[in-house]
Amino acid sequence: MANRRKGGAGRYRSQKKISKILMLAEAVILVAAILLIVVNNVRPGKITTAESRRAAVEAGTPAHAVPGFEMANGKVKSKKAPAEEEQPEEAPEEEAPEAIEKSAPVDPAPTSFSPHAVESTQPSNLISYTNIVVDGYYLDSVSEYQNDGDISFGVGSDYTAVEGIIGFRGNNFRNRPAYGFVDYKELKLNPVWSIDTDGLTYNGNTWTGSGWTGQPLMRKWPKEVKQHMNMYDSAKNKDDLIEVIYACMDGYVYFLDLETGERTRDDLFLGYTFKGAGALDPRGYPIMYLGSGINSNEGISRAFIINLLDCSVMYTFGNSDEFELRGVDFFDSSALVDAETDTLIYPGENGILYLMKLNTEYNQDAGTLSINPSHFTKWRYWGTRTSDASYWLGMEDSAVAYGGYLFVADNGGNFMCIDLNTLELVWVQDVLDDTNGSPVASVEDGHLYLYISTSFHYGWRSYDTATIPIWKIDAETGEIVWHTDYTCETEDGVSGGVQSTIAVGEYDLSDNIYVTVSRTGGTYAGVLACLKKSDGSVNWEHKSGYAWSSPVCVYSKTDVGKVLYCSSDGNMYLLDGASGTEHSTFSLSEGVIEASPAVYNNRVVVGTRDCKIWCVEIT
């Protein structure tokens, strides 16, 4: 029995009855004290990596709920038993709580999820038919399709355990374009380094620098992986190296040290214009999936699977595909990989959704890597409004995935939910116009929602102005929860409306979303709008040149959120996420910035159309 405080419940009595009563009282007090310690000190912590999260899940109990353990510095550790020493009569001084290192945000899972159509979202309202080819064999009916394994995605924070940003907006929810936290002091944007890029000319047209969507990727490779890469020795030997991998419109993929801007290896010339971000493998394998956005002197546009050990091309597909119905072979989307089934999922602007089992073989110790794609599946569709002149087929956005479902919009105003295991359309929502910005998933009050908007394609709905809604969509049914409308202008080839991808706020910004709206309030004007998740009402707007670049929310370790974005006036802006107050502006370019930035801790990387890649530090 533990010792009691002097002057507490009383001293020991010799009488047996009194002794039993006191022992019972002591036990009650001890239990109450332990519960108090647990409530105040053993708070459910956020687990640092996806591996530790998965380990806790596989064990059947969240790590922070296991008796005898607590969270500290984002890690699970043994909890010391209360000391068995005599306590002083005076109450001890209250100690400051142990500082807990905040880890990456964790997305909650929906309490239930069963996608289905309602009358307004029946696929037949907008889609005439779909077809499937598997390994060159044309199926008579979609119902004949049999998947090779059960595809099922978790929430966005479980997509990968690697350190960095491995795809457009980070994961399968498209909600993490920033990695780590920012240590705010001055709230200034300060340039760190820049390098020059170039342009690529084909058929009389020159594509320069970094375009839409143009987001860089960032990766901290383990030492065991780096030793087999074609990196320079200085990069291999740098333990804290963060490699920036940036595919640009000049046909090159650049490999840069985030700290210095120095090359980490030779530039990779593939000879095609790359507008999209590409993607790295979420399992940590040294693989890059990258698609070109236009034909070139090298040939017809295509998608590449690249071995990042030696920068060799392991596989290409999508060029001159006989199954496509549109007549283009472009790939701006950032691919997804289902780790459990080893399946690559790649939407194309040619109107084909590609799925293939990669049959990946990777030996980290030996430094060997190979793929042998099989069950190569192509899914296509035809819209009720589709024609050669308008409402085109094709998917330029980067899809969201959850469970066994893919959510993707297209150039023809169709926002589609597709069952990845049957390739049946589940629901389709009318999003009015050529939709290029990617959807974003958000779990709120146990329910999965999608935020999306659309662009204003010249001549389809109007030649002067048109309404551009920003939608909150129920991911189960495709129904519209609310919409907030802007009136936008456009011109042929330079669309107004929303070309960017919405940023969903977290921590102290968790009630908000952030979206850049182009050509509203003037031909070359635009706003960054902060809207309430609950009803779409406008909290505040920040006016600038119109922006195709996607905003990024960044946070300190004390949950203070800021929002960062770039615009066509060549500026990068840092704003207070709650009020919209402008903290800092930095001019990166005399021309436009179409590309979307990615953020690693305090450092922001983005490319410009005037042939620069910039690294800017938030101080």
User: Do 597 and 500 sit in the same domain of this protein?
Assistant: yes
Residue 98 reports pLDDT greater than 80: no
How much of the chain exceeds pLDDT 70, in percent?
83
Residue numbers of the domain that contains 387: 119-618
Q: Is 223 helix (H, G, I), strand (E, B) or coil?
A: helix
Would you say residue 585 lies in a domain? yes
- On the question of a cis peptide bond just before residue 213, with omega within 30 degrees of 0, the verdict is yes
User: Do 99 and 127 sit in the same domain of this protein?
Assistant: no
Q: What is the DSSP string of 192-203?
A: EEEEE--EEEET
* Predicted pLDDT of residue 591: 86
**469 beta partners:** 485
Would you say residue 108 lies in a domain? no
Q: What is the DSSP string of 285-334?
A: -SEEEEE-SS-BTTBS--EEEEETTTTEEEEEE-TT-TT-SSS-----SP
Give me the amino acid identity at 111. T
Question: What is the pLDDT averaged over residues 453-463?
Answer: 95
CB 215 within 8 A of CB 607: no
Write the pLDDT tens digit of every residue in 503-512. Answer: 999 999 999 9
Query: And the tokens for 157?
Result: 């924070």
Across 561-573, b (16+ Cβ under 10 Å) vs e yields bbbbbbbbbbbbb
Q: How many CA atoms lie within 13 A of 301 on its CB side?
A: 22
The mean-pLDDT minimum among 65-69, 291-295, 414-418 falls in 65-69
User: Do 130 and 98 sit in the same domain of this protein?
Assistant: no
The phi and psi torsions of 503 (rounded to 5 degrees) equal: -100, 130
Of the candidates 225, 217, 222, 227, the residue with the CA atom closest to the CA atom of residue 240: 222
User: Do 142 and 177 sit in the same domain of this protein?
Assistant: yes
Give me the amino acid identity at 245. I
Would you say residue 114 lies in a domain? no
CB 564 within 8 A of CB 572: yes
* Predicted pLDDT of residue 102: 58
CA distance 115 to 429: 13
CA distances 69 to 54, 97, 185, Å, are 17, 17, 35
Residue 428 reports pLDDT greater than 80: yes
Tell me, what DSSP letter sits at residue 451?
A: E
pLDDT-derived band of residue 475, with 50, 70 and 90 as boundaries? very high
Query: 103, 134, 159 — which closes off a domain?
Result: 103
User: Do 303 and 410 sit in the same domain of this protein?
Assistant: yes
Would you say residue 113 lies in a domain? no
User: Do 257 and 215 sit in the same domain of this protein?
Assistant: yes
* Predicted pLDDT of residue 17: 38
User: Do 373 and 513 sit in the same domain of this protein?
Assistant: yes
Query: And the tokens for 53?
Result: 């999260």
CB 54 within 8 A of CB 48: no
Tell me, what DSSP letter sits at residue 551?
A: P
Number of structural domains (the chain) is 2
CA distance 272 to 613: 18
User: Do 406 and 465 sit in the same domain of this protein?
Assistant: yes
Residue 87 reports pLDDT greater than 90: no
Question: What is the pLDDT averaged over residues 55-60?
Answer: 37
Query: 103, 134, 161 — which closes off a domain?
Result: 103
Residue 372 reports pLDDT greater than 70: yes
User: Do 28 and 128 sit in the same domain of this protein?
Assistant: no
User: Do 60 and 206 sit in the same domain of this protein?
Assistant: no
CA distance 389 to 585: 41
CB 328 within 8 A of CB 320: no
User: Do 406 and 526 sit in the same domain of this protein?
Assistant: yes
Write the pLDDT tens digit of every residue in 388-410. Answer: 999 999 999 999 999 999 999 99
Query: 47, 74, 103 — which closes off a domain?
Result: 103
pLDDT-derived band of residue 103, with 50, 70 and 90 as boundaries? low
Residue 436 reports pLDDT greater than 90: yes
pLDDT-derived band of residue 62, with 50, 70 and 90 as boundaries? very low
CB 481 within 8 A of CB 453: no
**205 beta partners:** 202
Residue 334 reports pLDDT greater than 80: yes
What's the helix, strand, coil split of the chain in %, to 5?
A: 10, 35, 55
Would you say residue 327 lies in a domain? yes
Write the pLDDT tens digit of every residue in 230-266. Answer: 999 999 999 999 999 999 999 999 999 999 999 999 9
User: Do 495 and 579 sit in the same domain of this protein?
Assistant: yes
CA distances 511 to 142, 444, 486, 495, 539, Å, are 41, 10, 21, 29, 10
Residue 7 reports pLDDT greater than 50: no
Would you say residue 27 lies in a domain? yes
Q: Is 413 helix (H, G, I), strand (E, B) or coil?
A: coil
pLDDT-derived band of residue 104, with 50, 70 and 90 as boundaries? confident
Would you say residue 109 lies in a domain? no
Would you say residue 112 lies in a domain? no
* Predicted pLDDT of residue 39: 40
Q: Is 226 helix (H, G, I), strand (E, B) or coil?
A: helix
* Predicted pLDDT of residue 105: 85
CA 387 to chain centre: 32
* Predicted pLDDT of residue 46: 33
Of the candidates 219, 315, 211, 198, the residue with the CA atom closest to the CA atom of residue 264: 219
Question: What is the pLDDT averaged over residues 107-128?
Answer: 98
Write the pLDDT tens digit of every residue in 297-314. Answer: 999 999 999 999 999 999
Residue 466: CATH number of its domain: 2.130.10.10
CA distance 504 to 176: 9
* Predicted pLDDT of residue 76: 32
| Model pTM score | 0.85
Write the pLDDT tens digit of every residue in 20-52. Answer: 444 444 554 444 444 444 344 433 333 333 444
Query: And the tokens for 315?
Result: 């596989």
Question: What is the pLDDT averaged over residues 189-209?
Answer: 97
